[in-house]
Amino acid sequence: MVQKITVIGQRLAKAGNEFYFMGEMEECKKCKVRGTCLNLDEGRKYQVKDIRSKKLLNCGLHDEGVVAIFVEPATVSALIDAKKAVKGAQFTFEPIRYNPRNVQIDEEYESMLNPEGLFKGDKCTISEIGESVNLDGQIYKVAELLPSF
């Protein structure tokens, strides 16, 4: 797994914390460390692996400043075709298409059809397999996917 170095608000800088990188904000345009902060992929989910430095840097968004951290891509929960649901398998992610007028789905699973942090065509490894979900006669599995981006 490839780790990257970035900065994050001091209060959020704890190993195991997960976050979505939402991209550049207006306050970032004049920042001296923006190159380090903005080196992640917008819309992706990351996990803090370790603190690189506890030295506080000023930030226009984080009132207590930011610190340097190591991050890796984080797993994302998604529904996948049950036939492809093999722990450790690698595949290309495709969001599940369905017509909400014709199919009822529990709110709990709806966000897993096209989950935040994954994009069509992403190469993923299945790290965990969960329960089965029936969606209009098709069986899907809840899976934890680790994208490689």
SS3 content of the chain, % helix, strand, coil (to 5): 15, 40, 45
- Residues 44 and 93: beta-carbon distance below 8 Å: no
- 100-120 mean pLDDT: 85
Q: Using one digit for the tens of pLDDT, what is the confidence trace for 66-77?
A: 999 999 999 999
Are 19 and 35 contained in the same domain? yes
Residue 41's Cα: distance from chain center in Å? 10
Are 67 and 86 contained in the same domain? no
Whole-prediction pTM: 0.89
Q: What total number of domains does the chain contain?
A: 2
Domain of residue 25: give its range: 4-73
Are 88 and 128 contained in the same domain? yes
Residues counted in the chain = 149
Are 103 and 64 contained in the same domain? no
Sign (positive or negative) of CA dihedral 73, 77, 83, 86: positive
Are 40 and 95 contained in the same domain? no
Instruction: Return all residues near 2 (Cβ < 8 A) that are at least 6 apart.
Output: 72
Q: Which of 73, 105, 132 is the last residue of a domain?
A: 73
Enumerate helices (H) and strands (E) in the chain, giving the number of each: 2, 8
Are 61 and 91 contained in the same domain? no
Q: Which of 41, 73, 105 is the last residue of a domain?
A: 73
**Distance, CA of 126 to CA of 144 (rounded, Å):** 6
Whether residue 2 is predicted with pLDDT greater than 90 in this model: the reply is: no
Q: Which of 73, 98, 129 is the last residue of a domain?
A: 73
